[in-house]
Structure 1
């Protein structure tokens, strides 16, 4: 069974904290250390950002980290090399979040095969259309045991959400608002109504909420209606300001303030 599915079935009442960071940031060779420290401090799943020069869904904080990571020398090949021994020390699910162009350049099957080889459990590709995935790549992903995670927003129609749910096999990335990452400081009634609407749909794949989650308060707000929550920009800011040595401080402020 894929590690994502195992994690989602464990302790069904526990709320999952997933952390996003950009591979190769702050420094090129920080990737494995950050992953190991996040697991040690109670994070349930990790999203590893593969930096790209045109990250459409990312806000300024993650864009800046991607720019720096690229300047540091991060590439797809470098990332896979950094991850080649990661399963000797890390057990939690690892997901690569990236854009389709670098994956296409690498070769979609070669990319999936390499992910399986190093122990990546899933991919999040914001600019890969659901229909294109279903028609052209679903069988390939399944061949290598890679879960593809789709994003929904408050504007996604129920019919579309049902279709995404029907072809998914993991979790659904529930974007809290129709904006880029790092752009919110809390959740209002409109977002809460959206969270409730999705919860009431009783999807077979549990939703995990991302975008706009930065502290204990917003983590609790999100996980009241979802299996878990994803924090990205706030952790990148922490790495920018504190470096990689104080991961425990950040995670404890989220889970046990």
Structure 2
């Protein structure tokens, strides 16, 4: 069974952390992953930096720019992660845009992920119908789970189609804004969380965008299986040493 599915079966609210590979320094990637697991994080999203990250707010865009300047590339990331499964057991997901994967070759990219021990991909600009028609067989051949995003504006019919195509979890974007642009959740978001919960989808949901502390983590997971923190962790890395990751995780849990 894929590590993501195994983790989703645990009787707990899951904490997933996103960070940009190659930030703050090019060779911090493996240490950050190891420290996050050591401090109780359940899943990790490794951001593959891209020059035109449409869904990302200023904090993650800035980290991507710095990572690219540091020399991060798809090949560098794969090289950094080649022995990651000797020290890390939790699910690892690469989050990135489709263009670098196309340039690498989708089949070759997926095979490399499988060889390294990557469990899934999040590709915000790959529409679910395009994936279903053209790439689903490739992903499944290599044992990769592809995770799709929904927003408050996603029609129910499309949500159900995404649910039918998915075999892991659904990334429930808390609002239609970019990452890092929220402070807490209002009534509209809570109604959205509850509405999706009441759809009784076969895949659990994990909430992203707007989670930054214990209060927002608890709000987001009231109706969902877990929550994803990205911009708040990137800000923490920008302001603190990578040696202090334990204090960030403790502030969320």
Please say whether Structure 1 and Structure 2 have the same fold, judged by a TM-score greater than 0.5.
Answer: yes
Structural RMSD (CA)? 0.4
Paired residue for 1:192? 190
SS in 2 for 1:95: strand
Paired residue for 1:8? 8
Q: Which of residues 160, 172, 175 in structure 1 aligns to 2:173?
A: 175
- Runs (5+) with no aligned partner, structure 1: none
Note if 1:221 corresponds to 2:212. no
Q: Is the 8 A contact 1:26 1:243 kept in 2?
A: no
Paired residue for 1:64? 62
- Runs (5+) with no aligned partner, structure 2: none
Q: Is the 8 A contact 1:44 1:92 kept in 2?
A: yes
Paired residue for 2:147? 149
Q: Is the 8 A contact 1:147 1:170 kept in 2?
A: yes
CA distance in 2, matches of 1:196, 1:148: 24
1:15-68 C-alpha deviation (Å, 9 max, x unpaired)? 000000000000000000000000000000000000000000000000000000
Q: Is the 8 A contact 1:122 1:149 kept in 2?
A: yes
Q: What does 1:22-101 align with in structure 2 at a 5 Å threshold? A: 22-101=20-99
1:79-106 C-alpha deviation (Å, 9 max, x unpaired)? 0000000000000000000000000000
Paired residue for 2:101? 103
Note if 1:116 corresponds to 2:102. no
Instruction: For residue 222 of structure 1, report the CA deviation from its aligned partner.
Output: 0.3
CA distance in 1, matches of 2:20, 2:229: 12
CA distance in 1, matches of 2:243, 2:19: 15
Instruction: For residue 10 of structure 1, report the CA deviation from its aligned partner.
Output: 1.9
SS in 2 for 1:208: strand
* Number of corresponding residues: 253
CA distance in 1, matches of 2:159, 2:228: 19
CA distance in 2, matches of 1:43, 1:222: 16
SS in 1 for 2:68: helix
SS in 1 for 2:184: coil
SS in 1 for 2:15: strand
Q: Is the 8 A contact 1:17 1:44 kept in 2?
A: yes
Note if 1:240 corresponds to 2:224. no
Q: Which of residues 122, 133, 152 in structure 2 aligns to 1:135?
A: 133
Instruction: Give structure 1 regions of 4+ aligned residues with deviation exceeding 3 angstroms.
Output: none
SS in 1 for 2:124: coil
Instruction: For residue 243 of structure 1, report the CA deviation from its aligned partner.
Output: 2.2
